[in-house]
Chains A and B, each alone.
Chain A
Amino acid sequence: MSRLSDHNVAIAKEIIGHYPKQKSALIPLVHLSQEQNGYVTKDAMRHIAELVNVTPAEVLGTASFYEMFKFEPVGKYVVNVCTTLSCALLGAGELLHHAEEKLGVKAGGTTADGLITLEPAECQAACTEAPCLQVNYRHKYRVTHDDFDQMVDDLRSGKLESEIPAHGTLGMQRQHIPDDKGVGAVHPDDVVGGPVWIPVAVEPDTEGASK
């Protein structure tokens, strides 16, 4: 089953409650499902459709607009090598080629152990730090071939485990707003303390690719 887990349904309901219209919670819920499984499964889209009272087709239509939602299994780490102008001038083509050789997959593919997916990408807004890449959307700057090899080795050995969460997990912390601190619940003058944060709890995945 790759519907949302009971734990995540509880989070989903909280997210839905933040919006005046249920449907507005659609994209946060797609993120949540990608966090659970590493990619957005069909069952999860059906489940989200039930939760926000739209058709599964509407979920697909909205989610597929965004390239960072994946609809097929991807590796635990998605490596995006920038190939746009500044990076291209400073050797992004060679870097991508090197990455393909190092990982043994063509761009767009996933390594046989399911750990790393390699993708070419458009500008990542770090042109002064070219050539750059992202691992699960976390930047690496001025990447040399040796840097790349080192990074792959570190990913494989689990050294970066604490630094880079599995694909789909946006942050290590999730904001949680208790009911008594929601918008309108307390007068702004009476607010004491900041929002309450709870640590993210990604349920162990059963079907997704992030092993």
Chain B
Amino acid sequence: MTDVPTEVAEEPAIEEISEPEPDPNAVQVTLNGSAVTAQKGDLVIAVAEGNGAAVPHFCYHPRMSSVGMCRQCLVEVDTGRGMQLQPSCMITVSPDMKIDTESPTAKRAQEGMIELLLANHPLDCPVCDKGGECPLQDQSYAVGPGESRYVEEKRHYEKPIPISDLVLLDRERCILCDRCTRFADEVAGDKLIVFTERGNNTQVMTFPDEPFASYFSGNTVQICPVGALTAEPYRFKARPWDLEQQESTCTTCSVGCRTVVQSSRDELLRYQGVDSDPVNHGWLCDRGRFNFEAVNSEHRLTQPMIRTEAGLIEASWSGAMASASGLIRETLANGGPARIAILGGARGSNEDAFAWGQLADAIDTPYRDAQLGDGLPGELLGLNRATIDEAANASTIVLLGPDLKEELPVLYLRLRDAAEKKRSKIIEFSATDTGLSRYAWKSVRHEPGNQTDAVESAIADADIAAQLASGDVVIVAGRPNLAESSDATVAALQAMLNAAPGAKVLPALRRGNVVGALSLGMAPTGPVGDRGDAIDALTAAAEGKIDLLILVGADPLSDCPDTDLARRALAGARRIISIDTHPSESTKLADVVLAAAAYGEKSGTTTNLEGRVTTLAQKVTVVGTARPDWMIAVELGMSLGDNSFGADHPLADVASVNDVTDAISATAPLFAMVTRQALAGDPNGVMSAQPTALLPAVSVAVAGRNSYDYRLVVNRKLYDGAIGTAMSRSLVNLAPGAAAHVHPLDLDGIGVTEGTEVKLISAKATAVLPVVGNNNVPRGVVWAPFNQPGTGSIEDIIDATAANTDVRIERI
């Protein structure tokens, strides 16, 4: 309330008021004898807990609606009719309410509830994964009666039953709190688990043969107040008291969910979501939650390697660094900086990206990019940027990008919540149905590549124009289709910004630290038309114009939409240095492979899509002798002869990652506020400043197609062939697999049945894929998931330089 007197002072017409206006929403209540001020609409349990009076509870969860299932939070409440027992999660405060959470009656009621809940709950805590961190166990000790009068046989069920590939259910432990089922319904929107049967037989269950295949299923394990739901990757792996934990940020995608990283005996064992109000509200997607298995994978690169006549062999770091720096110096001397390209950097921390950006500056290469031709131009970050909170509270959310459920899952949860709670109306422009289509107020289908026309006719619609004018607008912009030029989205975004000039833009770029990397020196530096971005670099390499290709955690062979271009580029580049955590198709072709430290093995900072900088924790020691990317860049930067970092270079004498963080805040203007002190002060992170830029002018020519053609749409799925999922035992089998999806009616037109292999013939190549009928795909469009395991490869037929990719589908 400190700003109230200032406001008054600014209004000379109003007489000076000695006291601030009473808050109209304030409600005075008495809690355990002391006066407390609450807000209108606050739940009694929230007021009690917020004022230091712990109320035992199981079903109540602050991020979900109250249901009063467990009855554990009974307290005495007097609203003028005398003290009465009430479930404190089901009533809101009213003026002069008296609340007693500690009265003998309340205590007795709470004791009684514990005794009832334990009537059927097995006392198998010593073998239960939840033992030691179990709300039921803890609260039985804290408020339970200590003994039970029940002597009857308890319920028995078959145990455990898998309700999905990742989650197991021990039904006899369930206390029917409705948290998991409520989460599935209210938060995730995947109502695949429900209460079945009745009375004593009530149990949480899926429909037979329809598992709880939600992208968010791991959250139910985290919020289960007993050991009923356990996660397959963690089950029987550790006891809570053996775990050490540190708060960190997930870098699987660019949402930047806050997590705790837990390990035991120097092995990563579990990630749990942390409730960060501006970001993830405590939720994580399953990919982010479980892909720690990739860090523990036995396939990790542990040593540097050098190519000899006998192939890649393990080398010492000094030997490998000497040959890497030798390759750079040799190329600089013989061909100059224009024959070197550096790609990647979005996988790592801000420190990694900054150090590699500085190295790219020292080398002075015209080719650098943190994206691999699968994003949008860096100018996107210079538009008036929205935060996630602004997006999730905007009156209109415009979606011009990929399926957020697949690429930025927790952002999907936040925007879904905005639509479900009627805070926002979503206007979606998409070529196919997406996860948010069913929540959208208007979901506009357009021909792939032709979103500008769709945007322009939408703006002309009176309803939509009125909606856009009615309040704040946030445009979520990303790359909606890997088989079309990013120009289509840039033009549509520009059209939308012209119609709603005050709109803010939330960049929906996928890679973990892509915003950090682009902001800290890994964005292409050339002018429009001669940018030197990843596609330019790969094209130059394919034409033999690149002698040295440096891949910093980048695997163009599986991550660049145009695999054919990547393949020619890696063949055309004379030498390749690859810095990576796992062997990939690209490391196999490298001349020098430098083993990199992975997530959880290095500390630092990361930047999410809003520009929010948060900390990363080093929780375990690196495998083998792997090193963080920044360390490799700094060492290379000190050994380049004439091109070395000078004595006054900010990275000249860094000894630890903290020195790099300091160097960033000292030299990168956008990150001046991002000091270690500021980061330590706020677990929600520090916002980096924002550059200003205008979108590049683009011209979009949507070519016609003949009637035999299908226009190709290629999107990422949550589970794909990327290292994080492919190297995680529990996630590797969840990828849907390569296939070509068409509208079921188009199956007849092609003359095939679902599952048959068909030929997809584009202007440059042919791919053979099984065909699937899919109602989410409009007629005349063929949709394929990107980078999927399977025999066929859709990536072969994408042309990165074309505006669109049209294909003919033929029977074999």
Interface residues of chain A, those whose CB is within 8 Å of chain B, are 42, 45-46, 54-61, 64-67
Please state if B195 and A56 are interface contacts (CB–CB under 8 Å): no
**B766 contacts chain A at the CB level, 8 A cutoff:** no
Residues of B within 8 A of A54 (CB): 191
Q: Which B residues from 173 to 214 make CB contacts under 8 A with A?
A: 191-198, 205-210
16 A–B contacts, CB within 8 A, in A order: A46-B207, A55-B192, A57-B192, A57-B205, A57-B207, A57-B210, A58-B194, A59-B207, A60-B194, A60-B205, A61-B194, A61-B196, A61-B205, A64-B196, A65-B196, A67-B198
Residues of B within 8 A of A61 (CB): 194-196, 205
Residues of A within 8 A of B191 (CB): 54-55, 57-58
Residues of B within 8 A of A64 (CB): 196-198
The count of A-to-B residue pairs whose CB atoms sit within 8 angstroms is 40
**Most B C-beta atoms less than 10 A away, residue of A45, A54, A55, A65:** A55
Closest to A59 in B: B207
**Most B C-beta atoms less than 10 A away, residue of A42, A54, A57:** A57
Residues of A within 8 A of B196 (CB): 60-61, 64-65
Task: Tell me, rounded to whole Å, the shortest Cβ–Cβ distance linking A159 to chain B.
Answer: 36
Q: How far is the CA of A45 from the CA of B194 in the complex (A)?
A: 14
Please state if A57 and B193 are interface contacts (CB–CB under 8 Å): yes
- Among all A-B residue pairs, the 5 with the closest Cβ atoms: A61-B194, A56-B207, A57-B207, A64-B196, A57-B194
Residues of B within 8 A of A45 (CB): 207
Closest to B196 in A: A64
Q: How far is the CA of A185 from the CA of B208 in the complex (A)?
A: 42
Q: How far is the CA of A60 from the CA of B206 in the complex (A)?
A: 8
Closest to A62 in B: B194
Task: Tell me, rounded to whole Å, the shortest Cβ–Cβ distance linking A3 to chain B.
Answer: 15
Please state if A42 and B197 are interface contacts (CB–CB under 8 Å): no
Closest to B192 in A: A57
Chain B interface size, under 10 / 10 to 19 / 20 to 34 / 35 or more: 10 to 19
Chain B 449-473 near chain A by CB (<8 Å), digits 1 or 0:
0000000000000000000000000
Please state if A42 and B194 are interface contacts (CB–CB under 8 Å): no
Please state if A42 and B208 are interface contacts (CB–CB under 8 Å): yes
Q: How far is the CA of A64 from the CA of B197 in the complex (A)?
A: 5
**Most B C-beta atoms less than 10 A away, residue of A45, A54, A64:** A64
Residues of A within 8 A of B194 (CB): 57-58, 60-61
Known: A54-B191, A55-B191, A55-B192. A60 touches B198 (CB 8 A): no
Q: How far is the CA of A66 from the CA of B194 in the complex (A)?
A: 15
Please state if B198 and A57 are interface contacts (CB–CB under 8 Å): no
Q: How far is the CA of A170 from the CA of B93 in the complex (A)?
A: 48
If A55-B207, A59-B207 are given as contacts, then 11 extra A-B residue pairs at C-beta distance below 8 Å, sorted by A number, are: A54-B191, A55-B191, A55-B192, A56-B210, A57-B192, A57-B210, A64-B196, A64-B197, A65-B196, A65-B197, A66-B198
Q: How far is the CA of A56 from the CA of B197 in the complex (A)?
A: 15
Q: How far is the CA of A84 from the CA of B208 in the complex (A)?
A: 34
Q: How far is the CA of A67 from the CA of B200 in the complex (A)?
A: 13
**Most A C-beta atoms less than 10 A away, residue of B193, B197, B205, B207:** B207
Residues of A within 8 A of B205 (CB): 57, 60-61
Residues of B within 8 A of A42 (CB): 207-209
Please state if B198 and A65 are interface contacts (CB–CB under 8 Å): yes
Task: Tell me, rounded to whole Å, the shortest Cβ–Cβ distance linking B97 to chain A.
Answer: 35
Closest to B201 in A: A64
Task: Tell me, rounded to whole Å, the shortest Cβ–Cβ distance linking A90 to chain B.
Answer: 27
Q: How far is the CA of A45 from the CA of B210 in the complex (A)?
A: 12
Residues of B within 8 A of A67 (CB): 198
Q: How far is the CA of A164 from the CA of B569 in the complex (A)?
A: 79
Chain B 206-224 near chain A by CB (<8 Å), digits 1 or 0:
1111100000000000000
Residues of B within 8 A of A59 (CB): 207
Residues of B within 8 A of A57 (CB): 191-194, 205-207, 210
Task: Tell me, rounded to whole Å, the shortest Cβ–Cβ distance linking A191 to chain B.
Answer: 38
**Most B C-beta atoms less than 10 A away, residue of A42, A45, A56, A59:** A56
Closest to A53 in B: B438
Residues of A within 8 A of B207 (CB): 42, 45-46, 55-57, 59-60
Task: Tell me, rounded to whole Å, the shortest Cβ–Cβ distance linking A125 to chain B.
Answer: 19
Residues of B within 8 A of A55 (CB): 191-192, 207, 210
Q: How far is the CA of A58 from the CA of B181 in the complex (A)?
A: 11
Q: How far is the CA of A54 from the CA of B190 in the complex (A)?
A: 10
Q: How far is the CA of A67 from the CA of B197 in the complex (A)?
A: 8
Task: Tell me, rounded to whole Å, the shortest Cβ–Cβ distance linking B175 to chain A.
Answer: 18
Q: How far is the CA of A67 from the CA of B194 in the complex (A)?
A: 17
Chain B 315-329 near chain A by CB (<8 Å), digits 1 or 0:
000000000000000
Residues of A within 8 A of B209 (CB): 42
Residues of A within 8 A of B198 (CB): 64-67
Q: How far is the CA of A189 from the CA of B208 in the complex (A)?
A: 51
Q: Which B residues from 149 to 195 make CB contacts under 8 A with A?
A: 191-195
Task: Tell me, rounded to whole Å, the shortest Cβ–Cβ distance linking B167 to chain A.
Answer: 14
Task: Tell me, rounded to whole Å, the shortest Cβ–Cβ distance linking A174 to chain B.
Answer: 28
Residues of A within 8 A of B210 (CB): 55-57
Closest to A63 in B: B196
Q: How far is the CA of A45 from the CA of B207 in the complex (A)?
A: 9
Q: How far is the CA of A55 from the CA of B206 in the complex (A)?
A: 10
Task: Tell me, rounded to whole Å, the shortest Cβ–Cβ distance linking A50 to chain B.
Answer: 11
Q: How far is the CA of A65 from the CA of B194 in the complex (A)?
A: 11
Residues of B within 8 A of A60 (CB): 194, 196, 205, 207-208
Closest to B208 in A: A42
Q: How far is the CA of A67 from the CA of B199 in the complex (A)?
A: 11
Q: How far is the CA of A95 from the CA of B721 in the complex (A)?
A: 66
Q: How far is the CA of A60 from the CA of B196 in the complex (A)?
A: 7
Q: How far is the CA of A64 from the CA of B205 in the complex (A)?
A: 11
Closest to B210 in A: A56
Closest to B181 in A: A61
Q: How far is the CA of A46 from the CA of B196 in the complex (A)?
A: 16
Q: How far is the CA of A67 from the CA of B196 in the complex (A)?
A: 11
Q: How far is the CA of A118 from the CA of B14 in the complex (A)?
A: 84
Q: How far is the CA of A58 from the CA of B205 in the complex (A)?
A: 10
Task: Tell me, rounded to whole Å, the shortest Cβ–Cβ distance linking B492 to chain A.
Answer: 31
Q: How far is the CA of A64 from the CA of B196 in the complex (A)?
A: 6
**Most A C-beta atoms less than 10 A away, residue of B192, B193, B209, B210:** B210
Residues of B within 8 A of A65 (CB): 196-198
Closest to A61 in B: B194
Q: How far is the CA of A179 from the CA of B197 in the complex (A)?
A: 36
Task: Tell me, rounded to whole Å, the shortest Cβ–Cβ distance linking B211 to chain A.
Answer: 10
**Most A C-beta atoms less than 10 A away, residue of B194, B198, B209, B210:** B194
Q: How far is the CA of A98 from the CA of B206 in the complex (A)?
A: 39
Task: Tell me, rounded to whole Å, the shortest Cβ–Cβ distance linking A25 to chain B.
Answer: 17
Q: How far is the CA of A56 from the CA of B207 in the complex (A)?
A: 6
Residues of A within 8 A of B206 (CB): 57
Closest to B206 in A: A57
Q: How far is the CA of A46 from the CA of B197 in the complex (A)?
A: 18
Closest to A45 in B: B207
Task: Tell me, rounded to whole Å, the shortest Cβ–Cβ distance linking B383 to chain A.
Answer: 38
Q: How far is the CA of A45 from the CA of B191 in the complex (A)?
A: 15
Q: How far is the CA of A58 from the CA of B197 in the complex (A)?
A: 12
Q: How far is the CA of A13 from the CA of B437 in the complex (A)?
A: 25
Task: Tell me, rounded to whole Å, the shortest Cβ–Cβ distance linking B31 to chain A.
Answer: 38
Q: How far is the CA of A61 from the CA of B191 in the complex (A)?
A: 11
Task: Tell me, rounded to whole Å, the shortest Cβ–Cβ distance linking B198 to chain A.
Answer: 5
Closest to B209 in A: A42
Q: How far is the CA of A42 from the CA of B208 in the complex (A)?
A: 8
Closest to A49 in B: B207
Q: How far is the CA of A79 from the CA of B206 in the complex (A)?
A: 30
Q: How far is the CA of A62 from the CA of B205 in the complex (A)?
A: 12
Closest to B202 in A: A65
Q: How far is the CA of A9 from the CA of B196 in the complex (A)?
A: 25
Q: How far is the CA of A56 from the CA of B192 in the complex (A)?
A: 8
Closest to B184 in A: A57
Q: How far is the CA of A56 from the CA of B196 in the complex (A)?
A: 12
Q: How far is the CA of A65 from the CA of B207 in the complex (A)?
A: 14
Q: How far is the CA of A55 from the CA of B205 in the complex (A)?
A: 13
Task: Tell me, rounded to whole Å, the shortest Cβ–Cβ distance linking A112 to chain B.
Answer: 27
Task: Tell me, rounded to whole Å, the shortest Cβ–Cβ distance linking A15 to chain B.
Answer: 22
Task: Tell me, rounded to whole Å, the shortest Cβ–Cβ distance linking A59 to chain B.
Answer: 8
